[in-house]
Structure 1
Amino acid sequence: MKPASCVPLLIALCGTLSAQTKPLKVMLITGGCCHDYKAQTEILKKGLEERINVTVDQIHVDDGSTKPALPIYGNADYGQGYDLIIHDECAADVKDEATVKAVLKPHQDGIPALALHCAMHSYRVGDINKPAKDGSLDALWFEFLGVQSSRHGAQKPIEINFGKKHPSTAGLKDWTTGNEELYNNVKVFDTTEELAKGKQEGEKDAVVVWTNLYGKDKVRVFCTTIGHNNTTVSDPQYLDLVAKGVLWATDKMDTAGKPKAGYGRQKK
């Protein structure tokens, strides 16, 4: 099959796509409150498969509640066979300890992850407003993410500043979003590396892009709180960021921020 052409803004992500390289198998989980997930799951799938050598399987429910009936619940082995799981669900009232532990199990077993936007406000067991103590039940989901958040501001533009050099953000430029939600930072864990901060009128500056090393095996987790509206999710800058996060989390990116052989898309 002829590889898709590189998106113009993704020059730094382009690499050689070998017909012999097996695509990364990615699970994308969407559903829940407050977002146009039906559209966004398609935007993300198309955007990732155009940019890097992946196949994206969609786990989606048309359930706009804060307790979406995702089919992964109750199945601690839901990630079997996948190279990476993207959490993009909005499940603010899924708080049962056993359910949350089962959602975390594939990552505890070594499967890397991306967490996008409302995944930060999902699976929050205990008091979300006080900094969670390391190892406590309150920190269960937040230790996976690397940042604890409890709220967001009104939808207004966010100025994003990539303040630290890192392979996963190499080649990305500062930009200002359209209307978005700036998630606050209640606690940033010691395992977290901050990559970009967001500034929004009327709100305290907050970390909006970061990496985390989760658990005893230091499983790679890449996170961004950006991604509420379709205009942002479909922005090439946002899709570039998510694609680079996939490569970093799966260790398919070199130290210069370029895809390892076989995992980029060949520029025409």
Structure 2
Amino acid sequence: MKRFLTGLWIFLAIYGGGYAFYKTILDMTVDPIPANTQEAEGFAAAFLRSYLTYDKGGPEPIRLFTELPDPRTANVGDGDKVTQRVVEIWPIKSDVLSGHHMNVRMIAIVERDRASADMEMREKSKRLIYRVDVPVTEGKEGKFQILQYPKFERVERSNSAVLPTSGQGNTEAAERMKPMLESFYKVYFEAEKSEDIANFFKRVQNAPKPQNKLFTFERLDRVDAFGKDKTWFVLVNLRVRDPFTTISYGASYYLEVEEQEGKFYIVSMNE
């Protein structure tokens, strides 16, 4: 084999284009090192926690994560001061864009206070939910860096929804709502009519369109429920299968769920 490749190299060198062709053959035999998405998620979560944290002295520094200019400011409005802390952050999805460039999608829940500059007037604390896409690049020696600013999307919720605090997960409620969630996602992915999905929702107009058998539901991997008084903020991790390629994929959803007379209804759902 070695003698054959040597002869091929000499032949191509004589007739032109030898190096490029030979290099292509070598490149085809080498598997690229896969992007480290698990560590990228941890890096993105640490960056986002700093990015979303404000105190009286201003925003928490992010220079350990990026060389980009810091676009944030602690002053909002006419001299008002904002303090903000992160309640929870969840990575829900990681996509390799090209090579070692990744996008980590996360859910961030923050608690925000606003006060006047002289601290005489203060608003009641607000809890906000964001869906955030954090672009992460893995450089040499496995070092991660943020080369682009994150993209934020506000997630609206009903006034009755109770947002989680750390360690507040209710495993008993999560277990009880699993049969409903399994039935719902089976219908969601495989049904063709919206009416089939509407039965699971408290308000028909909030029901999403069915996926028309684009994927087949396989199983629930994990359900985390947070809240109290029959109102739940639920994070769902599940597996679906492409019916054409038979490849299995992971997917994550977050929902508001209400319990009425022992039966669970979905108030809203975001992917």
Shared fold per TM-score greater than 0.5 = no
Q: State TM-score, norm by structure 2.
A: 0.23
Q: Kindly indicate which of the two structures has a greater share of residues assigned to strand.
A: 2
Say which structure, 1 or 2, has more relative contact order (CA 8 Å, 6+ apart): 1
- The structure having more radius of gyration, on CA atoms, is 2
Q: State TM-score, norm by structure 1.
A: 0.23
